Every structure is written in structure tokens, then in C-alpha cells.
Chain A
Amino acid sequence: MLEVSGIGVTYGATRAVTNVSLTVDRGAIVSLIGSNGAGKTTTLKAIIGLARNQRGEIRLDGRRIDHLAAPERVGLGLALSPEGRRVFPQMSVLDNLLVGAYLRRDGRGAHADLERIFAYFPRLRERREQVAGSLSGGEQQMLAIGRALMAKPQFLLLDEPSLGLAPIIVDEIERIIREINTDMKVAIVLVEQNANLALRLSDHAYVLEMGSTTLDGTGAELLASDYVRRAYLGV
């Protein structure tokens, strides 16, 4: 179980996250919705160790992890598909995936996962020798998710996987997030501005406003909430 309790993150004088709490059970899909600048990315960065929380605690299965460096947290079963995809542009698709398995020592398992990822994303297999910078936005997103999966995470953090993609690609990504969750038994923390997509997918969801989690409930509950419908679903 991943537990974030009352974390606060400041960048110099900017307070990016004031008070965020959330809980993610193993195998669950939990989403975090909120508008521009609400602090969604910063929350994920704090969980994976790319930003430091000055306040609050982050625990994985009861053990505090917020003093650990990012690579150590990856070793404990966290992985991130970052905002803006951030694939290594001059490395091949295959090398991007292989570097995702950097901490793994089970070569055979990593190879099986590579095949599995190619099965999810056949286009990555076709383009395995191509440099990642030459892929389309949707393909780069698939690569970023595949690279994170190569670490064999228990908790996969996805930062805006639908951003800037054509609706048909968004559908494909939604389907694959579901499949990954059921097949690989990996819990997913999904950050989205596309609240509709996020709430459809998630077991539980949190609303993040100006750096604080203000509301939470099951995906269905929030989809039915008047406030959420007005503020985030545009109805």
C-alpha cells in the first residue's frame, strides 16, 4: 500500500503542494484530477523522489520512503511515466525499453516483459530500432509507459498519458491501462486533466485544488457529483 499523508512541497518561494493525502491499495487504479498548476505533477514527483516533501510523510507498505533517493524508490517498486513523455530522444525504442529495466537482475523475466510490452504496443515492436525522438506523440507516450513497465513496478505513476493525443489514441491508451492493471497486477496512480477518462478508469479518485486534496470518492461517485461535473467535466 502506498500512503501519502499531508505532504507539502515548495520550490524556492513557490508553494506547489500544500496538503496532499492519498492512499493507493495494491492492484488499484487511483486517479488524481485537477486543473493546470494544481500540483498533480509535483505530487507524483514527490512520490517517486524527484521532488522533496518538506512536510508530511510518504509510506510504502508502512515503511517511510520520503528520505530515499529516486533510484532507491524505483528499486522498491515505483515507476513513473513522466509528464511530456520524456523518452530518451536519441536512443532507440529498444534501448529506451531496456534502460527501463536497469535495476532488474532477472534477465529472463525482463525479456518476457519486453515481449509483453511489444504485444500491448505492436507499433513499438515495428519501430524498435528507430530513435525515440522520431516517433509520433502517441508512440512516445506508449514508449514512456512501456519503459516504466520494464521496471516491473508494483505502483505505476502515469502523468497525463492522454495529453495532446488524438481521441482514437486516447481510447487505445485507456484500454491498455486497464489491461496492464489486470494482467500485470500493477497498481496505477493516474494524473489527468481529462477527468472523464480518469474517473471512468479509477477505483478511487482525488480532486486536487491549489495544492491540496479537497475531495475524494470512487470514480462513479465523483462522476455523479454536481461539483465535479461543473468544475471538471464541463456539464
Chain B
Amino acid sequence: MGLGTVVAQTIVNGLMVGMIYVLMAIGFTLVFGIMRIVNFAHGEFYMIGAFVFAIVFDSLGVPVAVSILAAVIVVGLSGVVVERAIFRPFTGDELNGMIASLGLALILQNGALLVLGPSPRSVPAIVDGTVSMAGLVFSLSRMTVIGVGAVAILALYLLVVHTQFGRAMRAVAQDPEIALVQGIRPERVYPIAFALGVALAALAGALMAPVLSVSPFIGLTPTLKAFIVVVIGGLGSIPGAVLGGLLLGLIESAAGTFLSAVVADIAQFVIVIAVVLLRPWGLLGKKEREA
């Protein structure tokens, strides 16, 4: 294998992992920005998305696109219920909302353990084969993850920037009281925003299920990564989440290929510490924000 191929594959791997981080971080930051909930259970929705995908795609033999959609929809709908039942009572109460999310994470993880058992299950690749471009060979399944992730992020971007619902979400995030006098009912915005956030986590989980294996414990790492990305990119910033996620994925991948996995782990914390010291509001975050 030539150096060119190694470099290209490192980049593809980095973008794939980065795309997953972006999906996780956008959902996380969206929920925080709009509802002021630090959702420690975010990764559990990734885990549920991965399980739904594994069962529908692998056990039931449903086509891959429908299986991904099933994971996204099941988790999105459960997000509506979770927002209403668990987070609504803590509106405007960041600390207790955070504690509630920790409780939810425990319940979801142990629930999955009870129902699905502890042993990891592997899921077959969604597509086989490779593509060749410019004399370099890429794995088709990894390119698919990158492509599907990019489409989802673009769709979310268009929703947030170009629709009235997107404006309503931003208005509630920036000034909830004044959003009310535009005629926006936060109680209608919250469940949809939360559902969107966890649906993105489910998409990440479904896309990663064939790459890693699926077990009740897989949610923790992506939650941590979402935290890291959001610190790098800036809390509440969607472009920041995209930049931070891709950056983190690429750096991890490069350090892992050319140095070692340990260096890759150290590298991400060095970046976090550097950002916190030099630009505590994140690369694309807003400097001042009211408490």
C-alpha cells in the first residue's frame, strides 16, 4: 500500500468518525441551545438507534435505507415522549434537568441490558466493495456513512436557516420571553427540537452499528465526544459542531495511524485544553451569553 492510499484512507476514516461526532454534537448542542438541557443521556439514544437498526436490518432483513429511517423515526418519536414526561418539568432549571438526564441515561442503559443482554452483537456492512478515485481505493461503506451524514446535516441546516420553524427554534434559543410575543409556543418547539436532536444521535448510531459492534454500553463514548466537540466548536453553535467534529475525527485518525491510539487520545485532550485556555467560548461560539 502506497503512502498516498494510507493518507487517503486516514482522511476517509477521519471524516467518517468526524461525521459521527458532528451528528452527535449537533443534536447535543441543539437541545442545549433551545431547551438549556445538558443531556447526559444523549449517547443512549445513539445506542437505541444502533439497536433498532441492528434488529430491523440484520434480524428482520429490511432494506438498509428503510432500516436507518426506522431507527431515526423510532428514536425521534421516543424523544417527543421523553421531552414531555421527563424534561418538561425542569424547563428553565439547568441543574435539575441535568440530573434528570443522568437518571434517564442509567434507566435507558440498564433497560437495554435487561432486554437485550450484555453481549455485543455485530452487524453486517451496509454495502460491500470499494470505489477507486484518482488511483486511490476507498471503502464504499465508509463513504456511505460520510455521504448520509452530510445529507442529514445539510437537511438540518436548511430547516434551521430557511424555515419558519427553524426561525422559531432560534428565537426560543435567543430570547424565550420575546419568542412568546412573536406567537411562538415553546411547548410546541421543545418536543420537536428534542426529537430532532436525538434522531440525529440515532442516525449516528445506525451508521456506526456495522462499523463497531452494538451493545448497551456503546453510548458513553459518543456522549463524551459530543461534549469535547461542543467545547471545541462552541456550545450552541451548529457550524462550531461541524468544524469541531470533523477536526476531532481527522486529528484522531491521523494520530492513530501515524503515531498511536494513546497519542490520539492525548491529542484530543490537548486540543480541548488549548481551546479552553485560549478561546473558552469555542472556535465558533459566541463570546458573551447571558446566564
Contact = CB atoms under 8 A, between A and B. Distances in A.
Interface string B158-188: 0000001001101100110111111111000
A103 B170 contact: no
B180 A75 contact: no
A50 B182 CA distance: 12
A88 B171 contact: yes
A69 interface: yes
A49 B178 CA distance: 11
Contacts of A75: 183
A71 B170 contact: no
A50 B180 contact: yes
A79 B181 contact: yes
The binding surface of chain B is classed by DSSP as helix
A69 B182 contact: no
A86 B164 CA distance: 19
Interface string A75-114: 1000110100010111100010011101100000000000
**B167, B178, B182, B286: residue with the most chain A Cβ atoms closer than 10 Å:** B182
Interface in A43-71: 48-50, 69-71
Contacts of A48: 181
B164 A70 contact: no
B181 A98 contact: no
B184 A88 contact: no
Interface in B37-85: none
Interface in B233-291: 286
A88 B175 contact: yes
A49 B185 CA distance: 13
A93 to B, nearest CB: 13
B170 A91 contact: yes
A102 B179 CA distance: 10
Contacts of A70: 180-181
Interface residues of B, number: 17
A102 B184 contact: yes
B181 A82 contact: yes
B86 to A, nearest CB: 23
A171 to B, nearest CB: 27
A71 B185 contact: yes
A133 B178 CA distance: 15
Contact of A71 (B167, B174, B175, B180): B180
A99 B164 contact: yes
B177 A100 contact: no
A103 B181 CA distance: 10
B171 A91 contact: yes
Interface string B125-168: 00000000000000000000000000000000000000010011
Contacts of A40: none
A98 B167 contact: yes
Interface residues of A, number: 24
Contact of B181 (A50, A89, A90, A91): A50
**B167, B175, B177: residue with the most chain A Cβ atoms closer than 10 Å:** B167
A102 B281 CA distance: 31
Given A86-B175, A88-B178, A90-B286, A95 B170 contact: yes
A9 to B, nearest CB: 15
Contacts of A79: 181
A102 B178 contact: no
A48 B178 CA distance: 11
A151 interface: yes
Contacts of A88: 170-171, 174-175, 178
Nearest to B178: A86
B211 to A, nearest CB: 36
A204 interface: no
Nearest to B237: A90
Contact of B167 (A49, A69, A86, A99): A99
Contacts of A82: 178, 181
Contacts of B179: 99
Contact of B171 (A49, A50, A99): A99
Contacts of B180: 49-50, 69-71
B170 A90 contact: yes
Given A90-B170, A91-B167, A74 B183 contact: yes
Contacts of A95: 167, 170
A144 B183 CA distance: 15
14 contacts: A49-B180, A69-B180, A71-B180, A71-B181, A71-B184, A71-B185, A88-B178, A90-B286, A95-B167, A98-B164, A99-B164, A99-B168, A99-B170, A99-B184
- Per CB-CB distance, the 4 closest pairs between chain A and chain B, nearest first, are A103-B183, A74-B183, A70-B180, A99-B167
Given A50-B181, A71-B183, A102-B164, 18 more contacts: A49-B181, A69-B180, A69-B185, A71-B180, A71-B184, A71-B185, A74-B182, A74-B183, A88-B174, A88-B175, A90-B286, A91-B167, A91-B174, A95-B170, A99-B170, A99-B179, A102-B184, A103-B182
